[in-house]
Structure 1
Amino acid sequence: MEDEYGKMTSEGDKFTIKNFKLESGETLPTATLNYRTYGALNEAKDNVIVVCHALTGNASLDGWWGGLLGEGKAFDTNKYLVVCCNILGSCYGSTSPTSIDPSTSLPYGITFPDVSVQDGVRLQLALLKEGIGASSIKSVIGGSFGGMQTLEFAVQTSSPHSPPNPPSSSPKPYVRSCIPIACGTRHTAWQIGISEVQRQCIYKDPKWLNGNFTPTDPPRAGLELARQIGMISYRTKDAYDNKFGRETKNGVEYGKYAHWEVKSYLEYQGEKFLERFDPITYIKLTEQMDSHDVGRGRGGCASALGQVKIPVCVMGIDSDVLYPIEQQREIYDLLGGGGGRKFIEIKSEAGHDGFLLEQEQVGRGIQEFLDLIE
Structure 2
Amino acid sequence: MMSEKRELKAGLDADSDVLRVNAVSAVATFGPEAPLALDSGVSLSPFNIAYQTYGRLNADKSNAILVCHALTGDQHVASRHPITGKAGGWWPLMVGPGLPIDTDRFFVICQNVIGGCMGTTGPKDIDPKTGKPYGLSFPVITIGDMVRAQAMLLDRLGIKDLFCVIGGSMGGMQVLQWAAAYPERVFCAIPLATAARHSAQNIAFHEVGRQAIMADPDWQGGDYLGEDKNPSKGLAVARMAAHITYLSEAALHRKFGRNLQNREKVTYGFDADFQIESYLRHQGMTFVDRFDANSYLYITRAMDYFDLAAEHGGVLAKAFKNTKTRFCVVSFTSDWLFPTSDNRQIVHALNAAAANVSFVEIDTDKGHDAFLLDEPEMFATLTGFIASAAERRGLGR
SS state at 1:247 partner: coil
The amino acid of 1:107's aligned partner reads P
Structure 1 residue 325 displacement after superposition: 1.0
Structure 1 residue 252 displacement after superposition: 2.3
Superimposed CA distance per residue, residues 325-359 of structure 1 (whole angstroms, 9 cap, x where no aligned partner) = 11001101101544421011122211001111135
- Structure 2 residue 217 is matched with structure 1 residue 206: yes
Cα pair 1:348 1:358 within 8 Å, conserved: no
The amino acid of 2:380's aligned partner reads R
The amino acid of 1:126's aligned partner reads M
Structure 1 residue 131 displacement after superposition: 2.0
- Aligned match of 2:292: 278
Where in structure 2 are the equivalents of 1:128-277 lying within 5 Å? 128=154, 130-158=155-183, 173-214=184-225, 215-249=227-261, 250-253=263-266, 255-256=268-269, 259-277=273-291
In 2, distance between residues paired with 1:152 and 1:208? 32
The amino acid of 1:233's aligned partner reads T
- Structure 2 residue 304 is matched with structure 1 residue 290: yes
- Aligned match of 2:9: none
TM-score, L = length of structure 1 = 0.89
Structure 1 residue 243 displacement after superposition: 0.9
In 2, distance between residues paired with 1:119 and 1:33? 12
- Structure 2 residue 114 is matched with structure 1 residue 88: yes
In 2, distance between residues paired with 1:42 and 1:338? 31
Superimposed CA distance per residue, residues 182-233 of structure 1 (whole angstroms, 9 cap, x where no aligned partner) = 1101111111111111111112222223223355321111111100001111
Please give the root-mean-square deviation of Cα atoms over the aligned residues, in Å.
1.8
The amino acid of 1:288's aligned partner reads A
Structure 1 residue 33 displacement after superposition: 1.1
- Aligned match of 2:330: 315
The amino acid of 1:278's aligned partner reads D
Task: Tell me which stretches of 4 or more aligned residues in structure 1 moved more than 4 Å.
Answer: none
In 1, distance between residues paired with 2:387 and 2:152? 27
In 1, distance between residues paired with 2:145 and 2:127? 19
Q: Percent identity?
A: 37
Structure 1 residue 142 displacement after superposition: 0.2
Gap runs ≥5 in structure 1? 1-9, 159-172
In 2, distance between residues paired with 1:228 and 1:11? 32
- Structure 2 residue 106 is matched with structure 1 residue 106: no
Cα pair 2:335 2:368 within 8 Å, conserved: yes
Cα pair 2:68 2:166 within 8 Å, conserved: yes
- Aligned match of 2:320: 305
Cα pair 2:67 2:165 within 8 Å, conserved: yes
In 2, distance between residues paired with 1:108 and 1:361? 44
Cα pair 2:24 2:54 within 8 Å, conserved: no
Structure 1 residue 372 displacement after superposition: 1.6
Cα pair 2:329 2:359 within 8 Å, conserved: yes
- Structure 2 residue 327 is matched with structure 1 residue 327: no
Higher RCO by CA contacts (8 Å cutoff, separation 6 or greater):
1
In 2, distance between residues paired with 1:174 and 1:206? 46
SS state at 1:341 partner: strand
- Aligned match of 1:12: 25
The amino acid of 2:242's aligned partner reads G
SS state at 2:101 partner: coil
Structure 1 residue 248 displacement after superposition: 1.0
Gap runs ≥5 in structure 2? 1-22, 79-88
The amino acid of 2:141's aligned partner reads V
Where in structure 2 are the equivalents of 1:29-48 lying within 5 Å? 29-48=45-64
The amino acid of 2:180's aligned partner reads V
In 2, distance between residues paired with 1:359 and 1:153? 26
Cα pair 1:152 1:294 within 8 Å, conserved: yes
Structure 1 residue 58 displacement after superposition: 0.9
- Aligned match of 1:356: 372
Cα pair 1:144 1:183 within 8 Å, conserved: yes
TM-score, L = length of structure 2 = 0.84
Which is worse superposed, 333-342 or 222-231? 333-342
- Aligned match of 1:165: none
Structure 1 residue 254 displacement after superposition: 6.8
Cα pair 1:181 1:315 within 8 Å, conserved: yes
1:73 aligns with one of 99, 123, 134: 99
